[in-house]
């Protein structure tokens, strides 16, 4: 591997020769990147062992990794390794276009305005060889949001906090002078660390800011199934920040109702609509009621007022017409007003002693 590569050097690279070997200092400077070889990535992930697989993204796969002491710093480090899979069923990219995807991600994550944001993955380095392209993040992953939504070990407080943090990230991205539009927001592209902080980790369709306008190639690549803005899918036109609001709404509703699209059913198109979180929500929702899952209504931090407010906000986010959706600034303002965030210092046990609030008995 090559250590301490400056950004301007990164952006002039095309395909690295496979003969590159390790050199450089033990400690990576914060402004520099490490260039990994394909053999390095195999070593970090135990040859991409299935046991280290975190999840599948739209363009590839995420793995848990381990950097041995002395390799880039004095102590060992848990990391996340993302690779682009050129055999992915959800991507129309060819080899050279995968390089551009790596280059854009490096540009985005290392620019001053985004580098260090608590809800964006921190980039350690990258691999851009002909046969393998990947990146290494400074992240000890608990798992992807997609895989954790259904599990009972995420409490109501944690779920609400994940929603708020992710909303703040999107508000930040949309508030730039040239707003970023992520476009491929989905549960598989958000990882959690062990403190349950969400980290956006895929930027394959991003536009705006330092990336520039969305190009013709990206316009041809669909948003992730289950998170597609139905208005633009049906009507076409220019992709806007409201597309991210819709996808965020799907994540919000999935988190509070413990529902997620079953990816194993994607090969049966006739079953997809019935498994979409937004379809279920629109069928179940009634005004002034909550879609919060029964088990989450037993948590001590839960309040029926919060359940109704967050459900209503989620439903507004998935409105068909973009003009009827809130901005992410509106979303953040609503979420910050929830009672749960006034109780985060409370140290009572996780579950209520009294019976859970029914909230109109909407979610099972």
Q: pLDDT band at residue 2, thresholds of 50, 70 and 90?
A: low
pLDDT at 88: 58
pLDDT at 239: 80
Please determine, for residue 37, whether its predicted confidence score (pLDDT) is greater than 90: yes
Question: Phi and psi at residue 170, in whole multiples of 5°?
Answer: -65, -35
Of 214, 246, 250, nearest in space to 328 by CA: 246
| Lowest-confidence pick of 64-68, 123-127, 265-269, 360-364 | 360-364
d(CA 121, CA 363): 33
**Average pLDDT score, the chain:** 84
Quick one: average pLDDT of 330-335?
97
Of 91, 125, 175, nearest in space to 9 by CA: 125
Domains 32-138 and 143-341 share a fold: no
**What is the tens place of the pLDDT at every residue in 41-82?**
999 999 999 999 999 999 999 999 999 987 777 888 999 999
Give me 125's structure tokens: 């380095």
The angle subtended at Cα 103 by Cα 101 and Cα 107, nearest 5°, is 115
**What is the tens place of the pLDDT at every residue in 147-201?**
999 998 899 999 999 999 999 999 999 999 999 999 999 999 999 999 999 999 9
pLDDT at 306: 96
Please determine, for residue 249, whether its predicted confidence score (pLDDT) is greater than 70: yes
pLDDT at 264: 67
**What is the tens place of the pLDDT at every residue in 212-234?**
987 767 777 778 888 999 998 88
pLDDT at 15: 36
d(CA 78, CA 191): 14
What is the topology classification, in CATH, of domain 143-341? Transferase(Phosphotransferase); domain 1 (1.10.510)
Please determine, for residue 310, whether its predicted confidence score (pLDDT) is greater than 90: yes
Domain residue spans of the chain = 32-138, 143-341
Class of domain 32-138: alpha beta
Residue that has been written with the tokens 């190009």 in this structure? 215
* DSSP result, 39-82: HHHHHHTTTT-GGGEEEE-SSEEEEEEEEPTTSSSSS-EEEEEE
**What is the tens place of the pLDDT at every residue in 253-295?**
999 999 998 766 666 666 667 789 999 999 999 998 999 999 9
State how far Cα 107 lies from the chain centre: 18
Q: pLDDT band at residue 91, thresholds of 50, 70 and 90?
A: low
Query: Regarding predicted confidence, which is higher, 305 or 70?
Result: 305
pLDDT at 26: 29
Query: Regarding predicted confidence, which is higher, 357 or 333?
Result: 333
| Lowest-confidence pick of 66-75, 82-91, 236-245 | 82-91
Which alpha helices (H) appear in the chain, and where do they start and end? 7-10, 38-44, 95-110, 145-148, 156-174, 216-220, 230-235, 241-257, 272-275, 277-284, 304-317, 328-336
Q: pLDDT band at residue 1, thresholds of 50, 70 and 90?
A: low
β-sheet bridge partners, residue 203: none
d(CA 337, CA 334): 5
State how far Cα 195 lies from the chain centre: 16
């Amino acid at each position: 591997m090559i250590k301490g590569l400056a950004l301007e050097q990164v952006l002039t690279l095309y395909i690295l020769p496979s003969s590159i070997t390790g050199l450089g200092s033990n400690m990576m400077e914060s402004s520099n990147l490490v260039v990994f070889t394909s053999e390095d990535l195999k070593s970090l992930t135990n040859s991409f062992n299935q046991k280290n697989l975190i999840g599948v993204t739209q363009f590839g796969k995420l793995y848990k990794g381990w950097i041995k002491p002395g390799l880039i710093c004095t102590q060992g480090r848990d990391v996340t390794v993302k690779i682009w899979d050129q055999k992915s069923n959800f991507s129309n990219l060819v080899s050279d276009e995968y390089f551009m995807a790596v280059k854009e991600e490096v540009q985005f994550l290392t620019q001053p305005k985004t580098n260090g944001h608590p809800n964006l993955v921190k980039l350690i380095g990258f691999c851009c060889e002909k046969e393998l392209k990947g990146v290494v993040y400074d992240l000890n992953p608990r798992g992807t949001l997609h895989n954790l939504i259904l599990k009972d070990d995420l409490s109501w407080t944690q779920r609400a906090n994940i929603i708020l943090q992710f909303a703040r990230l999107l508000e930040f991205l949309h508030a730039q002078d040239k707003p970023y539009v992520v476009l491929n927001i989905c549960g598989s592209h958000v990882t959690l660390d062990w403190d349950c902080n969400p980290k956006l980790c895929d930027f394959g369709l991003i536009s705006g800011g330092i990336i520039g306008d969305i190009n013709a190639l990206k316009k041809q690549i669909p948003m992730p199934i289950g998170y597609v803005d139905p208005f633009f899918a049906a009507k076409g036109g220019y992709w806007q920040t409201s597309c991210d609001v819709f996808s965020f709404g799907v994540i919000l509703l999935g988190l509070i109702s413990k529902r997620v699209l079953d990816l194993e059913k994607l090969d049966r198109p006739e079953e997809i609509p019935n498994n979409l979180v937004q379809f279920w929500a629109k069928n179940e929702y009634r005004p002034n009621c909550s879609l919060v899952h029964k088990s989450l209504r037993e948590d001590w931090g839960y309040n029926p007022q919060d359940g109704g407010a967050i459900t209503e906000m989620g439903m507004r986010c998935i409105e068909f017409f973009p003009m009827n959706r809130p901005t992410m600034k509106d979303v953040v303002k609503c979420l910050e007003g929830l009672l749960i965030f006034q109780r985060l210092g409370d140290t009572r046990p996780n579950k209520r002693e009294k019976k859970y609030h029914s909230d109109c008995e909407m979610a099972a």
